Amino acid sequence: MSSPPVKRALISVSDKEGLSEFAAGLVDAGVEIYSTGGTRRHLEESGLSIKDVAEYTGFPEMMDGRVKTLHPRIFAGLLCRFDREDDMQSLAEHDISTFELIVVNLYPFQQTIAREGVTQAEAIEQIDIGGPSLVRAAAKNHKFVNIVTDKGQYDRVLSEIKDSGTTSLETRFELASHAFAMTADYDAAISNYFISKSGTAESSVESSDDAFADTISVELKRSAILRYGENPHQKAAVYEQLGISGPSLVRAKQLNGKELSYNNLLDLDAAYNIAQSYTDPAVSVIKHNNPCGAAVADNIAEATKNAMAGDPLSAFGSVLGFNQQVDEAAAEVLAEPGLFIEAIAAPSFSSAAVEILTTRPKWKANVRLMEMGDGRLSAGDGQLRQIAGALLLQDGDTLADAYDEWQVVTESQLDESLESELRFAWQIVRHIKSNAIAICRNRSLVGAGAGQMSRVDSVEISIRKAGDRVQGAVLSSDAFFPFPDSIHAAADAGIAAIIQPGGSRRDDEVIAACNERGIPMVFTGRRHFKH
């Protein structure tokens, strides 16, 4: 049969934005509207004549609205097949009307649990029962029934009903597809919330010793189609992971510049997370997802200057991350002739900084300025990475280092003046791709060796990058030295101190090489690989 005309609609929504106008349009098109509780009162206050679901079912709303639409007279009218004589005969026998349009959006569970201090009891009351049931029933029967779950769908549906009294099967299928995706996301959010709360004081469920659940659900919503991926021949999109706290590039406010590319997003995320790992004013400079410059200082302008000086050649066309507002003085540094910046992520930008960065440099029109807001991601948010046929999940490498557990393992003791240098170097090396070496001076990255198959190659690259600045600098390694060759290369270059995890079978040889060359070395006992 052809698409049935839309005669009756059932409307029950939490988000009422745009609803009155939509409902008025339906009434004008001859559609009879049934509704519940707060939605019915909202529409009646708009001057519309609305039928009460409770009067239709003969069963009152109860339990503070927990039970409203869960009734055979509703679901039979939703699930009947208009092309089946036996279905239609059943409706006639029981005096049940059909519903060709359902308008539902769900209790705001995700928004509720995102609020600081929300209790489990409050969260549980925002778990919708009737809404998802209506949505799934209508979506299942989309051959005959329209399911509207988003205010962005109002105009299309209303336009088709006004034009022809009904909608196309194509439209109903698309509505159903969106509806099933919505209920899947909703259930995933609830599942993840319960898993996260297992074993807490409010929960009666005993937690497992296993830190990871047997199953997880990842809620993703497409945020944008990107121009292309890592290369022009690759298609790409960015999806927002729902239910995650803290700042995110997909929720950031873009103050200037072209749309972000796939590579921009990767680099901005790395840059911002590096800067956020420091408490003092900090700036990181990223090229190809590795830091080529980073610095902390007494103020953000000085940190900017020192970070850009880390590897000036590589910094051309780089992406920057700040851990505090980009002020006028920092913007002046970046506006100096000869620099080229692709994008900047920061908690905020002063109005003077925006004015300078968008009017002074040659790249003014193109630089992407991403205002991230306050806060940071927590280790508990986790890191997902895809491999063929599977996802890897781990905690973020954000565990604070226990400085009191560090050990000087050499005869040469550490000069107190180098302690802050070593702490800076140890923090930055965790952000460089392994095998990773960082050479630092004056709390600035002056030479980095990244992603080499041999650790001594990374040492030699970092020394070359540092140039004359290697004299008196400190060297940090993300993992142990397997051979003493790296120690000799560092000593020949003038390195003043070395920090590394330790743990090699040849630790004694490496320590002996340091003793021979008079270089103090610290063991942290913790590795920081970044593959």
358 with 418, same domain? no
Same domain, 35 and 108: yes
Domain count, the chain: 3
The verdict on residue 51 lying in a domain is yes
Q: Residue 7: what residue type? A: K
The DSSP bridge partners found for residue 9 are: 33, 101
**pLDDT tens for residues 423-438?**
999 999 999 998 999 9
Dist. CA 285–CA 270, nearest whole Å: 9
Tell me the whole-structure pTM to 2 decimals: 0.75
Tokens, residue 70: 């869960």
Q: Is 385 contained in some domain?
A: no
In a domain, 35, yes or no: yes
Rounded Cα–Cα distance for residues 442 and 294 (Å): 11
Shared-domain flag, residues 189 and 229? no
Q: Are residues 268 and 358 in the same domain?
A: yes
pLDDT at 519 over 90: yes
Tell whether 182 is covered by a domain.
yes
> Is residue 410 domain-shared with residue 367, that is, in the same domain?
no
Of 100-114, 167-181, 365-379, which has the strongest mean pLDDT? 167-181
Does 168 lie in the same domain as 275?
no
Q: Do 421 and 484 share a domain, yes or no?
A: yes
Is 76 in the same domain as 18? yes
* 277-295 pLDDT per residue, tens: 899 999 999 999 999 999 9
Query: What is the pLDDT, as a whole number, of residue 201?
Result: 42
For residue 264, being part of any structural domain is answered with yes
Domain end residue (candidates: 323, 356, 371): 371
Residues labelled as active-site residues: 140, 288
User: Phi-psi category of 439—alpha, beta or left, where left has phi over 0 and alpha has psi -120 to 50?
Assistant: beta
Q: 147 and 259, same structural domain?
A: no
pLDDT per position as a tens digit, 475-503:
999 999 999 999 999 999 999 999 999 99
Which tops the pLDDT comparison, 328 or 96?
A: 328
Query: What is the domain range of residue 27?
Result: 8-194
Query: In this structure, is residue 397 part of a structural domain?
Result: no
* Cα–Cα distance, 142 to 135 (Å, whole number): 10
Distance CA 342, CA 364 (A): 10
- Written as one string, the DSSP assignment of 42-87 is HHHHTT---EEHHHHHT---BTTTTBSS-SHHHHHHHH--TT-HHH
Let me know if 50 is exposed, middle or buried by CB neighbors in 10 A (0-12, 13-18, 19+). Answer: buried
Q: List, for residues 137-148, the tens digit of each pLDDT value.
A: 999 999 999 999
3 lies in some domain: no
User: What's the pLDDT at 207?
Assistant: 42
Is pLDDT larger for residue 318 or for residue 207? 318
| 126 and 45 assigned to the same domain | yes
* Rounded CA separation 448/445 (Å): 7
Question: Are 160 and 262 in a shared domain?
Answer: no
Work out the average pLDDT over 219-236.
90
Whichever domain contains 291, its CATH number is 3.40.140.20
Q: Is the pLDDT of residue 361 over 50?
A: yes
Domain with 59 in it: what CATH number? Answer: 3.40.50.1380
CA dist list (Å): 513 to 485, 510, 519: 9, 5, 9
- 519 and 433 both lie in a single domain: yes
User: Considering the domain boundaries, does residue 73 fall inside one?
Assistant: yes
Q: How far apart are CA 218 and CA 196, in angstroms?
A: 13
